[in-house]
Structure 1
Amino acid sequence: MIKVVVVDDSAFMRKAISTMLAKDPEIDVVATARDGEEGLELIRKHNPDVVTLDIEMPRMDGLTALRHIMMEMPRPVLMVSSLTSEGAEATLKALELGAVDFIPKQLSKVSLDIVKIEASLISKVKIVASRRLIHSRPRPGVAARPATPLTVPGSAGYAPRAAAGAAQSPAKLPGGMVKRDVVVIGVSTGGPPAVQKVLSAFPENFPASIVIAQHMPAAFTGPFAKRLDGLCKISVKEAEPGDRLKPGCAFIAPGGKHLLLKQMISRVDLLISPEPASALYKPSANVLITSAAEAVGRRTLGVILTGMGNDGMEGVRTLKQKGGRALAQSDATCVVYGMPKAIVDAGLSDEIVDIDDMAQAIMNNLYI
Structure 2
Amino acid sequence: MDEPIKVLIVDDALFMRKAITEILQTDRSLNVVGTARDGLDGLEKIKALRPHVVTLDIDMPRMDGLAAIRHIMIESPVPVVVLSSLFSDGAVTFEALRLGVVDFVPKPSGGISEDMDQSRRKIIDRVKIASSVNFDNIRRVRMNEGVTDENLSVRTGFHPLEYLVALGTSLSGPNTVIRLLTRLSPTLPAAMVVVQEIAPQILPAFVKKFNEHVPWTIEVAEDGRILEQGVCYVCSNEKTMSIDRNENDQPCIRLEDAADQPLNALFRSAAEVFNNNTVGVLLTGVGDDGADGFARIRELGGSTIAQDSQCCVYPNLTQHAIERGTVSKIVDETQLPDAIVASIA
TM-score range, shorter chain: 0.7 to 0.9
Counterpart for residue 291 of structure 1: 269
SS for the counterpart of 1:231 is coil
Equivalent position to 2:116, from 114, 117, 123: 114
Which residues in structure 2 correspond to 1:119-138 (within 5 Å)?
119-133=121-135, 134-137=137-140
Equivalent position to 1:311, from 289, 293, 296: 289
Equivalent position to 2:47, from 41, 44, 49: 44
Counterpart for residue 362 of structure 1: 340
Q: CA deviation at 1:186?
A: 0.6
Distance 2:236 2:204 in 1: 7
Q: Identify unmatched segments of 5+ residues in structure 2.
A: 144-153
- Map Cα deviations across residues 179-231 of structure 1 (whole Å, 9 max, x no partner): xx110001121112100111111223122111111222222222222222211
The amino acid of 2:199's aligned partner reads: P
CA 345–115 in structure 1, closer or farther in 2 if over 3 Å, else same = farther
The amino acid of 1:303's aligned partner reads: V
The amino acid of 1:33's aligned partner reads: A
Check the 8 A contact 1:297/1:324 in 2, yes or no. yes
Q: CA deviation at 1:269?
A: 2.9
Identify the range of structure 1 (344-353 vs 311-320) with the bigger mean alpha-carbon deviation: 311-320
Counterpart for residue 58 of structure 2: 55
The reply on whether 1:279 has 2:282 as its aligned counterpart is no
Distance 1:50 1:102 in 2: 14
Distance 1:138 1:299 in 2: 29
The reply on whether 1:21 has 2:24 as its aligned counterpart is yes
Distance 1:256 1:278 in 2: 5
Q: What TM-score do you get using the length of structure 2 for normalisation?
A: 0.85
- Map Cα deviations across residues 125-173 of structure 1 (whole Å, 9 max, x no partner): 333323331242499xxxx9xxxxxxxxxxxxx9x9646xx6x5x5xxx
Q: What TM-score do you get using the length of structure 1 for normalisation?
A: 0.81
Q: CA deviation at 1:264?
A: 5.0
Equivalent position to 1:245, from 218, 222, 227: 227
The reply on whether 1:350 has 2:335 as its aligned counterpart is no
- Map Cα deviations across residues 96-121 of structure 1 (whole Å, 9 max, x no partner): 12312223322323323223343333
**What RMSD in Å do the two structures reach over aligned CA positions?**
2.7
Q: Give the length in aligned residue pairs.
A: 330
Which residues in structure 2 correspond to 1:167-178 (within 5 Å)?
168=161
Counterpart for residue 83 of structure 2: 80
Q: CA deviation at 1:310?
A: 2.4
The reply on whether 1:93 has 2:71 as its aligned counterpart is no
SS for the counterpart of 1:245 is coil
Counting aligned pairs with the same residue, the percent is 36
Which residues in structure 2 correspond to 1:222-233 (within 5 Å)?
222-233=204-215
CA 107–120 in structure 1, closer or farther in 2 if over 3 Å, else same = closer
